[in-house]
Amino acid sequence: MATAIKRIDPSDNEFLASLEAKAKQPNPFFRAMANRPDVLKSFVPLYGAVMGPGSVERRTKVIAYLAVSFANQCAFCIAANLPGGRKVGLTDEQIQALEHAGENGFDGADLAVIRYARELARTANADASREALFAHFTDEQIVELTLVIAMANFTNRFNNGLAIFPEA
């Protein structure tokens, strides 16, 4: 059996305790990251800056995050982002398409984002898919989308690397 990374108890980390109090539930991602308290403190505002309000609609960010998370098979990130996907109006057909590397239910800008997200999940070279973004997004928005995709890849690899799964 594999050895698990120690999950910090919120009683041992005031910042972690405050995060979990706001969320009203334990968070194994934060509990693992709390092994490096300064990183956890820096990560939270960075994540908020990337995923919070910006020049790209929330729905588009969620599509990108889920496309990456399904491509990387990150159970934790998928579980964490599916409720948001449904909240922004993604249909069951669209969620299934993202899960199975399909494109049903998407067109135009959404398809450009999905293709770019999947390509960046597989490789650091996205020349083929990046070009299509320029028909739908400004430079600022493409940078923001790339940050969302990079954040998804970061959290996916952190969770998969440390075997962090959704709590049952």
- Residue 158: the pLDDT is 98
pLDDT, one tens digit per residue, over 140-168 is 999 999 999 999 999 999 999 999 999 86
pTM comes to 0.95
pLDDT, one tens digit per residue, over 104-125 is 999 999 999 999 999 999 998 8
Report residue 11 CA to chain centroid gap. Answer: 27
Residue ranges of domains in the chain: 11-51, 58-161
Q: Are 76 and 165 in contact (CB under 8 A)?
A: yes
The amino acid sitting at 116 is: Y
The one-character DSSP state at 72 is T
Q: Which CATH class is domain 58-161?
A: mainly alpha
